[in-house]
Every structure is written in structure tokens, then in C-alpha cells.
Structure 1
Amino acid sequence: MSGVVLVVGSGGREHALTLALASCPAVTSVLVTPGNAGTLAAPKASHITLPLKDHQAVAAACVEHGVSLVVVGPEDPLAQGLANSLTAAGIKVFGPTKEAARIEADKSWAKSFMNRHSIPTAAHQTFITTQEAKTFINKQQWAGFAVKASGLSAGKGVIVADTAADACQAVDTISSSFGEAGQTIVVEEKLVGEEISVLCFTDGVDAAMMPPAQDHKRLGDGDQGPNTGGMGAYCPCPLASQQDLDIIKKDVLQKAVDGLRKEGTPFVGVLYAGLMLTVDGPKVLEFNCRFGDPETQVLLPLLEGDLYDIMMACVEGRLGKVTVPFSQDKSCVGVCVVSGGYPGGYPKGKTITGVDEVSGEAGVQVIHAGTKREGSSLVTSGGRVLAVVVTGAALRDTADRATQLAGRITFEGATFRRDIAARATKVTSRSAD
């Protein structure tokens, strides 16, 4: 069945999804709203301007353009019920309902959900006043704290503190920095270990797990500096043992899928578990209701199945009947190049050079995020500007190549990390010795 796909979003994740969907034989065209300079240049792709908060207008556009599947990239439209409205209009959507998206959109609810379904996570408490949160913090004997905005905060609403004093200061920061999202605060015991991301496709019953990836959230090398939306990622992550992955499949992802279905809110789409590999086993830091960014950029190049077919199987409730194969002998590394000043204020409109030369290299994709066209020039339009994504055999060589190529893309103030996948390459080097 031929298909027209509408991809919703404007970041690197959506460029990666657009490229993967455009490569599927059954996909005749990909419409992207609002998109970026990368999606605009992608095969089979074109941009369409839609008022995403006007769900009826989006539905009407889908009917007009013969859209067979809508793929929602970011969390905000899902939390606002776009999938509900489109499904009610008879349009197929890869992405959960507003009710199922609460697993990301409401961290307080998500923690209670994990408790109800015995999904391993950190000890925690939820507060609606800063004073109550601080009183609780000062009574705990924890080695550290994670203070979180309960609502959506673009991946930046978490502050990790090693002392009670710092945690109390974090409460004030969260409360004053994230508007309504920070008015309910979750205080958790700090978990210690390696953090990984494990995603799965799901039709609400079955869960097809993807290989583990590792994101790098801090701005600077050696995990220094402020949290960002993600400075790079790699896949697969060798830090998780097969026993860890078995536990994650059975006791995290499948339990979450089953729990949401049993509570009357079946989850269709991609469920993302952010996990800490602790001495007591994997524990959930958070769930997300969509593909991760930048994890998507390093997962999809390793997918050996047809993304459109897999997504349609999820939407049509037949995921258990299709295979979801990933490469067993390749690694993928993505290095994000960001604007000077990010994640704080940053300039826009800086001319970007080197993209065509780098993207012409074998096994390389340049995935656009904060880019746009001004005449014949490619310029910056966001904090995370683009990612250099390299697929290769050995993880260390692949990471070295991605880092080297990231340095060949230039614009005023360009910044990138030079240690993406460094912790994993130490592990693989030791195992090879």
C-alpha cells in the first residue's frame, strides 16, 4: 500500500525520521511540519505549514493530502491530544494518546504508575509547595538528590544535587524557571551508575525493544557544564549486560506497556525508558512518550527493517507478527554541533559551511536540527544546530571519525564534545585486550 506520511516536528529527530521513512518503498511522499533545512532537502519530502494546536485543521489537511500515517516527533503535541483528535477523525497516528502520554508529561503521575506496576525506580516524593519539598530534603539521609519539574520542560527540568543545601536551591530554581511545569516538584534519591536509553516500538500489547543507546547531556567534555537537550549519542551501548537488557525488556518496558493497557490507556508508538544501571540492577529515571533526540539519529541507521511497515504494524495492532531487525555488527555515533552560548542564550543566523563535504563521506549523515535556508546560504536557527552521524564497524573508530568530521563543519561559535562514546570505548578496548 502506497503511503503519504506526515512528520510533525522541526528537530534532528524529525530529519532522521524523514530520511528513514523516505527510504521505505511504500512511502510515496513525506510531508513535514514545520521541518528544517535538512527535511526540506530530503528525498520525497516537502514542507507544509499547519497550525498544530488546531487539531481539526491538521485533520482536514491530512484528508486533503491523502495522508496514510501521521508520525508525531515531539512530546508537546502528544500531551495536547493531537493523536486523540486525528484518530477520532479516522487518521492513523504513530504516537500515544494524551492519556498515555502522561507517562512523560506528568512525572508525578509516572512515578505513581511505576509504583503501581512494580517497575524499578528511585525512591521519591512529590510536592506542590517549595517549603514542603525543602523540609523533606533536609530530613533525608540520601547521598544525593534529583529535583525534577513534574511537567514538560524540553529535557532540561532536572537538577542533580549532591547535598541537601544544593537540592533546596534546586527546588527554588525549578519552581521559578519552568512555569506551570515546575509548580509540582518531584524529589528523588540520586541513583549512581551509567545512564542509558532503551526504546521500544509498541502496539499497546507487544514491545519490540531497540538496542541500548547512551546520550550525553552535559555541555562539556568529561560530563562538565550545564545539562542540555543532548550533545551526542551512540548505539549500541556495551555498558548494559544481556542480563540488564532482559530485565529492562521484561520488568520495565513490557510492564509499562501492560500497565498502561490495563489502566485503559493503551500506548501506541515509541516508549522510551531512561535508565540508570545501578548495583541493584536497572532502575528507571524517566519515561518518554516518543523517540529520543539525539538517540533517534543513531538508532535508525542501524534499523534493518522497514520503518513505515513497523509503524503501521504498531498502529494496526499487529506488531507481534512483524520482525524488527537491527544490525548486529555495526555501531553508530552522533556528535551534535551547537551554537555558542547554548543551552543559554545564543545568536542565530550564523552561516554554516562544510555540510556538503561532510555529508558526501561514506557512511555519514549530517542531521539538521536548528538550521534554515536564507537565500543560497545555510544558517543557524537554534541551539542544537546539527549532528554528524557516522555508521561503522568498530565503535572507537566510528566515534573518532564522527568527532573529526564534526570539526569540519564550521560557523561562528560552533561547539561540540570530543568524547562522545568515550566511556564505552574504554570498555570495548578492555574486552578486546
Structure 2
Amino acid sequence: MNNFLVIGSGAREHAIVNALYSSRLDSKIYCIGNSYNPGIMKLCFEYVVGDYNSSSFVVNYANKNKIDYAIIGPENPLEAGVSDALWEANIKVVGPKKELAKIETSKAFTRNLQVDYGIPGGPKFQSFTTLNGVAEYFEELNHEFVIKFDGLAGGKGVKVYGEHIETIPDALDYCKSIIDSGGSFLIEEKFIGEEFSLMSFCDGKNIQHMPIVQDHKRAYENDSGPNTGGMGTYSDYNHSLPFLNDTDIESAKKINLLTMEALKNKTGMDYIGILYGGFMAVKNGVRLIEYNARFGDPEAMNVLSILKTDFIDICKRMVSASLDKIKIEFENKATVCKYSVPNGYPDNPVKNQIIDISDIKDKDKLFYASVNIEGDNLIETGSRTLAVISVAETIVDAERSAEDNIKRVKGPVFHRSDIGTKELVDSRKSNMDKIRC
């Protein structure tokens, strides 16, 4: 019997806890969340609400409950050094140490790592802490640029010129707002293509890859509106996507491997946990957009829903540098995940409203996110509220089932009905065909 501690209380962590709970291996599951997630609470031996970014709080709780393994869901505890503190307390952690987590927490760190270690797929870029030279660099990139806040921003710190920002004065204003808040930023060349996510299990020496997923960051139908943490995702039965070819997939896998190895060479430490590459397929190959140092949300729900290999076994292999001793397998099924979010999300969401899920047919495919429990009521707390996942033979069939469930959520919420539809998936392939013709 092993004691597992999951840190975090969103839909991603609900999926992680569900994967632990489904294991054939005996375990006790504990969780530290920042609110009461009813889905996680139902599966845990103990659930507490506390500051999971506090190393002392987490370590004290872990020691008190004789925790053997910890899994860190969100990025903020990684940046706060919670993984380092747990390892120092002799608790094995799925989630990289603070220095390694810079692969997500610092855009400049990632781009410089690519340059220093010859990792392909990077853009032209420059880092800035003032406005000096910014307008000139816009010109150098022929106004085909992206501005990236150099830090954590919940998936909302990236502004693409021509999409989120329409004029050069607006671009300069955004840069100034970052500087005024004490931050820094990167300006990168803009890639044209289709995005996809490749997450990999890492033990610092070995790497095994998960099925490829496509996320949808924009809030509204047809990829319009502001960026969000992710409104939904889909994956295909063959673990690729209709707009990708075999060379694209192998290129992305190679970049993830080279990055894990470069992190070891740069820091002297093993990268243990999930390495999540955000990629773009372009006219002549694959480019790296960014890295995350943990499971994606929603992507975790897609891949863990079709994982055949025991998740506890995978976790134990990651922390013992023995991933090469198992073959991680996934079902050959398609998945679609859709989020229900509060009206006004992401910029001005309604908060603390009652959500009714009584009409949802398959509650086993429901993952709770930014919610709380007050009496007998489920309350949305202002961010993404809950997600449904559907698994089927095809993306189209999975989408129909996911849509049928998510539309049954009652309350001041909305979702993107187009994610996973034949029309949207076909448009992605058509767009990629045009780019590569």
C-alpha cells in the first residue's frame, strides 16, 4: 500500500486522481486543493483545502500522512519550489524541480535553451525589459510577430499581432503594461500553421510519449474571442491528428527528447514528470511554440481516459529512472473534451452562481474544475467550471456524445459547440493542406 498526494483541485487533477483510483495497485489517495472539488473528494481517502503553493504546508501535511509519492498538477507549486521541498523530505515527486520548471515559467529560459543546445523548431526572438528597440524589432519581423509575457499567465499572456492586437500602438501599449507591472517579455516571429500538443512521460533519462491532442484556446466559436486556459480538446484513434504527417510527429518527439536531455546537461538534474510541448505544424516542418512542465488541462483528460498501462506503475517508473522497463500503451480510440465556463469568461466572468448537473447522463465522464460546494449546491467560482470527456471510435462520434452531455449543464455558463465537429476538424486539415501546397 502506497500513499499518494495529488496537489491541485481542477479538472486535470480530477483526471489524475481518477487514474490513480482506477489502478490495480493498492493505494491511499490524499489531495490538497484550493476549493472543494466534489469529484476528487469522492475518490480520496482525505481531502484538505489549503495553500498548495506553500512548501512548508505541503511538506508538513505529507509527513503527517506518511506520503510516499506526490503528483503536482498545476504550474504555480512548481514555480514555488514545492517539488524541491518534497524531495528534500524524501518524498518522490512527479513534477520537476523549480530550476527545471523554468521550461514553463520563463519563456526566455526555454528559447535560450533551444539556442544553446541546438534544439530545432525555434523562432527568431528577442527578450526585452524596456521599450528600447521594440518598434524596430517589429519592423525587422515585418510586423509578423507575437508578444509573450515572460512568466506564468494562465495561458493568457500571449498576444498575436493581427489576432489579439490590431495596431502597432496597441502592441506597444501591451509591452508597456508588462514593463509597468515589473515584468519582461519576448517578441518572437509569428508562425503560420496548426497547433498541437505532445505530452511525454519523463524520468530524466528515458521518455515515452502520449497521443497527440489539439487544444482550442480561443473563448468563442470559430476560434474567435480572447485566449483562455483551454475550451476543449480532441485526439484521434491513431494518436495523431488528421492534419499531421508521420514526419511532423517524429519531429515533435525528437524535440521533446532533446529538451529533456538539454535540461539535464544545463542543470545537472533529472527532469521527472510530464513534459508538454506546444507545437505548430508549418509549411516546412514543425515549430515549438512553448513548453509546459505538467499535464495540460484539458489534455490530461483526453490521454488519461484512454491510458491502458497502470498509471501508478508509470508514476513509480518516472521517479525511479526506469521508464524503459515498461511499454506505455493507450487505446486506439478518439476523444473529445469540452469545457463549460461561466458567462463572461475569461475577462469578466460571473462568480458564485449555482450550477445544476442533474441532467448529465454519464457523470463518470464529468470532471469538476473551478467549483466549490456550499451546502447541497455546486457553485462555480469564476474560471472554467467543469468538463466532459467522451471516448469513441471516431472524433465525430466522440464529439456528439460530449456535446450531448455538456449542453445539459444548467446555469449561467457557455461552451464551444464546434470543438471536435467534422466541420472544424476538416477545416484544420484544409488549412494545413493550403499552407503546404
Give the TM-score, by structure 2 length: 0.91
| Superposition pairs of residues 158-173 of structure 1, within 5 angstroms | 158-162=158-162, 166-167=167-168, 169-173=170-174
Residue in 2 aligned with 1:255? 258
* Equivalent-residue separation in structure 1 for 2:273 and 2:132 (angstroms): 38
Change over 3 Å in CA distance of 1:179–1:400 after alignment to 2: farther
For residues 217-228 of structure 1, what are the structure 2 equivalents within 5 Å?
217-228=217-228
Q: In the aligned structure 1, how far is the partner of 2:93 from the partner of 2:50?
A: 16
Q: Are residues 1:241 and 2:245 paired?
A: yes
Could you tell me how far 1:139 is from its partner in structure 2? Answer: 3.4
Q: Does 1:341 align with 2:339?
A: no
Residue of structure 2 equivalent to 1:30: 29
Residue of structure 1 equivalent to 2:425 = 424
Deviates more, 1:127-136 or 1:349-358: 349-358
Amino acid at match of 1:51: D
| Deviation per residue, 1:145-195 (Å, 9 max, x gap) | 110001111111000003997355234325426975x72110011101110
**1:67 to 1:179, Cα distance in 2 relative to 1, 3 A:** farther
Q: Which amino acid aligns with 1:345?
A: N
In structure 1, the residue matched to 2:316 is: 312
Partner residue, 1:125:
126
SS in 1 for 2:29: strand
In structure 2, C-alpha distance between the alignment counterparts of 1:4 and 1:356, rounded to whole Å: 35
Aligned length: 420
Deviation per residue, 1:313-335 (Å, 9 max, x gap): 0011111111110112x111111
Please show how residues 6-155 of structure 1 align to structure 2 within 5 Å: 6-34=5-33, 36-119=36-119, 120-142=121-143, 144-155=144-155
Conserved 8 A contact 2:129-2:179: no
Match of 2:296 in 1: 292
Over 3 Å counting, the alpha-carbon distance change for 1:118 and 1:89 in structure 2 is same
* Matched residue, 2:276: 272
Tell me the residue number matched to 2:362.
359
Shift of the alpha carbon at 1:235? 1.4
Amino acid at match of 1:295: E
Distance 1:355 1:254, change over 3 A: farther
Gaps of 5+ in 2: 431-437
Taking structure 1 as reference, are residues 46 and 178 closer, same or farther at Cα in structure 2, changes over 3 Å only? farther
Identity of aligned residues (%): 31
Contact 1:125–1:188, Cα closer than 8 Å, also in 2: yes
Structure 2 residue 204 is matched with structure 1 residue 204: yes
Q: Secondary structure at the match of 2:354?
A: coil
Q: Distance in 1 between matches of 2:358 and 2:204?
A: 40
CA 1:179/1:106 → structure 2, altered by over 3 Å: closer, same or farther?
farther
Distance 1:226 1:191 in 2: 19
Say if 1:149 and 1:175, in contact at 8 Å, map to a contact too.
no
Report if aligned partners of 2:233, 2:302 keep a CA contact under 8 Å in 1.
Answer: yes
Cα distance in 1 for residues equivalent to 2:196 and 2:39: 28
Within 5 A, what are the aligned runs for 1:162-201?
Answer: 162=162, 166-167=167-168, 169-176=170-177, 183-201=183-201
Q: TM-score, normalised by structure 1?
A: 0.92
Q: CA deviation at 1:428?
A: 8.6
Structure 1 range deviating more: 259-268 or 217-226: 259-268
Q: Which runs of 5+ in 1 are unaligned?
A: none
How far apart, CA to CA, are the structure 2 residues paired with 1:353 and 1:25? 33
What is the CA-CA distance between 1:87 and the residue it aligns to?
0.5
Runs of 4+ aligned structure 1 residues displaced above 4 Å come to 177-180, 425-429
Q: Give RMSD over aligned pairs.
A: 2.1
* CA-CA distance at 1:356 after TM superposition: 6.1
What SS does structure 1 have at the residue aligned with 2:385? Answer: strand
Q: Which moved more, 1:148-157 or 1:118-127?
A: 118-127
User: Does the CA contact (< 8 Å) of 1:147 and 1:171 recur in 2?
Assistant: no
Report if aligned partners of 1:396, 1:425 keep a CA contact under 8 Å in 2: no
SS across alignment from 2:196: strand
Letter in 2 for 1:101: A
Contact 1:32 1:39 in 2 (8 A): no
Distance in 2 between residues matched to 1:165 and 1:341, nearest whole Å: 22
